[in-house]
């Protein structure tokens, strides 16, 4: 029942996005503003964890919405708006990563490269270290942020999109341009890597309580 209700809510939300986008297509600025307000944070969350510089990530997020506005005339209702905008966001991120690879002076850290290779940034094995429960959440978040950023691009994007409940596995597969099983495999591998790297923190019990 829970899933069905959620599914209905999601479908309704998608229809609303499509309706807004059709209005944008007709030049309705208010509809565009509503879409920006709704998607700015999810898009920024995705970009920021690929290009971990707030200013640059925000610039790129702006470009995503400008691209959406400029391409509105090509939008087809057959494609879900969320799939479309996350695809644009990912493509812009990849272009930026490519640009930085060509200009090493501006490059990202080595961990944020394309493809599905092993993470370039490895963390020290701290399995013998048991962080005290009193450790602030900020530090734990830093650890998980760093571990997520060190993931290969495809795994990271799949994992981050997986957090967006309104984006289905099928849509993630479409955004990444791979099959459904490959997408699930990417998420599984990303989570396995994170579990290995964050084992002492996971076992501390701090994250087991969803309310924390």
Stretch that binds another protein, among 12-20, 90-98, 102-110, 204-212 (CB under 8 A): 204-212
Under a CB-based contact definition with an 8 Å cutoff, are residues 94 and 114 in contact?
yes
Question: Rule CB under 8 A: is residue 75 a binding residue for another protein?
Answer: no
CA 74-78-82 angle, 5° bins:
80
For the record, the structure tokens of 187 come out as 């998420």
Stretch that binds another protein, among 65-73, 79-87, 117-125, 173-181 (CB under 8 A): 65-73
Which residue lies nearer to another protein by CB, 86 or 201? 201
Which residue lies nearer to another protein by CB, 105 or 205? 205
CA dist 5 → 11, 197, 209 (Å): 10, 36, 25
Query: How many C-beta neighbours within 10 Å does residue 205 have?
Result: 10
Helix H or strand E encompassing 147: helix 137-149
169-176 vs 81-102: helix axis angle to the nearest 10?
Answer: 40
Question: Rule CB under 8 A: is residue 208 a binding residue for another protein?
Answer: yes
Residue 120 CB contacts under 8 Å (≥ 6 apart), including other chains: 109, 110, 111, 113, 150
Question: Rule CB under 8 A: is residue 7 a binding residue for another protein?
Answer: no
Which residue lies nearer to another protein by CB, 49 or 80? 49
Which of 8, 19, 54, 120: binder of another protein (CB under 8 A)? 54
What is the contact surface with another protein in residues (CB under 8 A)?
1-3, 6, 29, 32-33, 36-37, 40-41, 44-45, 47-49, 54, 57-58, 61-62, 65-66, 69-70, 137, 140-141, 144-145, 148, 159, 162-163, 165, 184, 187, 191, 194-195, 198-199, 201-203, 205-210, 212
């Amino acid at each position: 029942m829970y899933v069905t209700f959620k599914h209905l809510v999601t479908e309704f939300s998608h229809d609303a996005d499509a309706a807004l986008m059709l209005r944008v297509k007709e030049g309705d600025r208010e509809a565009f503003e509503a879409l920006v307000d709704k998607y700015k944070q999810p898009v920024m969350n995705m970009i920021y964890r690929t290009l971990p510089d707030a200013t640059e990530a925000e610039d790129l997020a702006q470009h995503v919405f400008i691209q959406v506005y400029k391409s509105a005339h090509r939008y087809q209702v057959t494609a879900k708006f969320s799939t479309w905008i996350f695809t644009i966001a990912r493509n812009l991120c990849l272009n930026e990563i490519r640009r930085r690879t060509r200009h090493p002076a501006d490059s990202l850290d080595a961990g944020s490269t394309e493809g599905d290779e092993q993470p370039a940034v490895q963390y020290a094995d701290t399995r013998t270290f048991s962080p005290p429960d009193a450790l602030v959440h900020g530090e734990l978040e830093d650890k998980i942020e760093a571990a997520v950023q060190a993931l290969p691009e495809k795994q990271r994007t799949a994992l981050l999109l997986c957090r967006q409940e309104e984006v289905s596995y099928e849509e993630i597969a479409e955004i990444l341009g791979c099959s459904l099983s490959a997408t699930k495999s990417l998420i599984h591998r990303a989570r396995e890597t994170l579990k290995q790297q964050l084992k002492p923190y996971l076992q501390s019990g701090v994250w087991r309580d969803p309310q924390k």
